[in-house]
């Protein structure tokens, strides 16, 4: 059991977020309100960027579909 826990703790998916959270908490003097505010703002920025990329990709796809040459005109 101890080996299983040790192996799982050294996974980058576990360690990196913990290190980022620790660094943020040290930077903000362990003020949980500020830490949560920063995390919410960063999360909203990521969500906005995701939505923007998704919208641009959909616009490109729909624009590409609209401008396909047809067999009747060319």
| Number of structural domains found in the chain | 1
Round to whole Å and give the CA distance between 74 and 61: 22
Question: Does residue 69 form part of some domain?
Answer: no
The pLDDT value given to residue 63: 66
Round to whole Å and give the CA distance between 67 and 55: 18
Question: Does residue 68 form part of some domain?
Answer: no
pTM metric for this prediction: 0.63
Q: What is the span of the domain harbouring residue 35?
A: 2-63
Mean pLDDT of the chain: 85
Question: Does residue 74 form part of some domain?
Answer: no
Round to whole Å and give the CA distance between 48 and 14: 25
Between 36 and 68, name the one with better pLDDT: 36
Residue whose structure tokens are 């943020």: 24
The pLDDT value given to residue 49: 95
């Amino acid at each position: 059991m101890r080996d299983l826990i040790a192996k799982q703790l050294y996974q980058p998916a576990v360690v990196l977020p913990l290190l980022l959270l620790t660094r943020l908490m040290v930077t903000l003097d362990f003020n949980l309100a500020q830490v949560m505010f920063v995390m919410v703002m960063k999360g909203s920025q990521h969500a906005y960027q995701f939505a923007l990329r998704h919208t641009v990709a959909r616009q490109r796809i729909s624009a590409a579909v609209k401008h396909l040459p047809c067999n009747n005109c060319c």
